[in-house]
Amino acid sequence: MNTELIRRKRDGLALTGGEIEEFISGCLSGEWADYQISAMLMAIYLNGMTDEETFELTRAMAYSGDVCDLSDVAGVKLDKRSSGGVSDGVTLILAPMLAACGGVVSKMSGRGLGHTGGTVDKLESIPHMRLDIPEERFKRLLRENRICVTGQSENMAPADKILYALRDVTATVESIPLIASSIMSKKLAAGADCIMLDVKCGSGAFMKELDRARELARLMVWIGKRAGKRVQAAITDMNRPLGRAIGNSLEIMEAVRILKCEEKGPLLDVALLLGSRLLVMAGLAQNGNEAEKKLEESLRSLKALERFEKMVSAQGGEAEALHDFKLLPVSQEYEYKAKESGYISRIDAQALGTAALSLGAGREKKGDGIDYGAGVYLDKTLGDEVQKGEVIARLYTKKSDLSQAEAYLDQALQIGPEALIPPVVYDIIE
C-alpha cells in the first residue's frame, strides 16, 4: 500500500484524508521506511498538493502528538508566529503589550537555527529563566498573568519532526505545502484561538520572493480558517534587520528599551501592526486605530513592561536583569568602523545574521551550544550618515578571531551616496 500511495502522488493524483492519515501513521510507527517517506516528499515537491490535501496533512501532523487544550483558560487566546528572521524580537515586545491590553498570550516558541534567532534562546539569556514548562503549569500561568512563553513540547507534532529531518536532506525544504503544513500543524496543536502570522520576505528570510511569500501566507491563513481558527498574515520585510541588536541578550536589552519607550523603529512598527490585528480579531478593539492606541498606551503607562517582568519572574527568571543589564550575559566588545564616508545604503540581513552566528550567537545544527552574550549591535542603521573611521557596529564574542565576522559585516553593511529604504510591510492576507 505504501508504494501505491507514492505512485498516486507521483502521478499527480490527489490523496484523500484517509490516505494522508495512513501516511502519517506509518511515519510514526516505522511502517514507512525513510526511503519511502523521502519518495513521498519528492512526489509532493514535484506535483504539489491541493489546499484540501495540505489541510489534511496539517491536521494529521497536528494530532500526531500532544495537543494543548486551552478551553479551560478564560478569555480569547492569542498567538503570533514568525517565519524567522534577523533581529526579530517582535514576540518580546508584542506578547506583554497584548497581555496588558486584556489578551491571553499563549506562545509556544522554538530555538534559533542558522542565521535566524529563536525566542526561546533570547529569553533563556535571562538568568534562571525557564522555558520548559509542563502544560498544566503553562495554563496556570496563563490564568494568573495572561501571558506565558514556553518552548514547544518534544511530543508536539512529532510527525513534523520526522518529515522535517528528511526534507532537509532530500532537497524538498522549499515545497510550500510542506512548509505551510509544518508551521500550521504546530500552531493548531498549540491551542490558540487567534493566530497572527508574520511571513518574512527578503534576503534574511526563507522566502526571498514576494510572490512565494504571498502564496505561503494565503495557504496558511486558509488552513487556519478551515480548522476553525481566526487567522491573518502580514508579509513583512526581511531585507534588513528589524532592530539594531542581533544576538540573544542584546535583543532582550533592545526589547526592554522599547518597552520603556526609550527606542522606536521597524521592530516596534511590526509589533504594533501585528498586535492591532490580533486585538481586533479577538474582539478587544473595534478597529485598527483603537487597537493601536491601546497598544501604545500599554507602553506609555509601562503596563506592558510590568507584564514582561511578571512573566519573567513567574518563569523563574531574574526580573532585576531587565533594569540592570549587567546581570545579563555580554561577551567581549569589539568595534567595527566605517571604511568610507556616506550613508548606510543597504543592510543585508542574512549576511548580518551569519556574522552573529560566526561570533557564537547561533547554532549551525540542532543541539549546538550558543554564547548568550554574543552578537552584533548596530550603532548606525539604514539611512544613517557615517564618517570614515566612525564606529558603526559593535561585535560581542568570546572568540579571538574576528576575521570571518568582519568579512560578513563588510558584505552586510554597504555605504553609498544614498539609501533605499524598503517598506516595513508588503501585504496583509485576511
Confirm or reject CATH 1.10.150.20 for domain 2-48, answering yes or no: no
User: Are the CB atoms for 252 and 126 separated by under 8 Å?
Assistant: yes
For position 117, what pLDDT does the model report? 64
Name the residue ranges covered by the structural domains of the chain.
2-48, 77-158+188-322, 329-416
Angle at the Cα of 256 from the Cα atoms of 252 and 261, rounded to 5 degrees: 150
Task: Tell which CATH classification among 3.40.1030.10, 3.40.50.720, 3.40.1350.10, 3.40.50.300 matches the domain 77-158+188-322.
Answer: 3.40.1030.10
> What single letter denotes the amino acid at residue 6?
I
Given a cut of 50, the residues of the chain with pLDDT beneath it are: none
Task: Give the whole-angstrom CA distance, residue 199 versus residue 8.
Answer: 32
> What's the confidence (pLDDT) of residue 207?
87
* Predicted pLDDT at 344: 96
Q: Is residue 337 within 8 Å of 391, Cβ to Cβ?
A: yes
- Report pLDDT for 86: 82
- The reported pTM is 0.93
Give me the pLDDT at residue 85, please. Answer: 78
Query: So what's the pLDDT on residue 413?
Result: 95
The fourth-level CATH superfamily of domain 329-416 is Pyrimidine nucleoside phosphorylase-like, C-terminal domain (3.90.1170.30)
Give one DSSP letter per residue of 23-45, joined into a string.
Answer: HHHHHHHT-S-HHHHHHHHHHHH
Question: What are all long-range contacts of 383-388, with beta carbons under 8 Å and residues at least 24 apart?
Answer: 383/343, 383/344, 383/419, 383/421, 384/343, 384/344, 385/342, 385/343, 386/338, 386/341, 386/342, 386/343, 386/344, 386/415, 387/338, 387/341, 388/338, 388/339, 388/340, 388/341
pLDDT of residue 216: 96
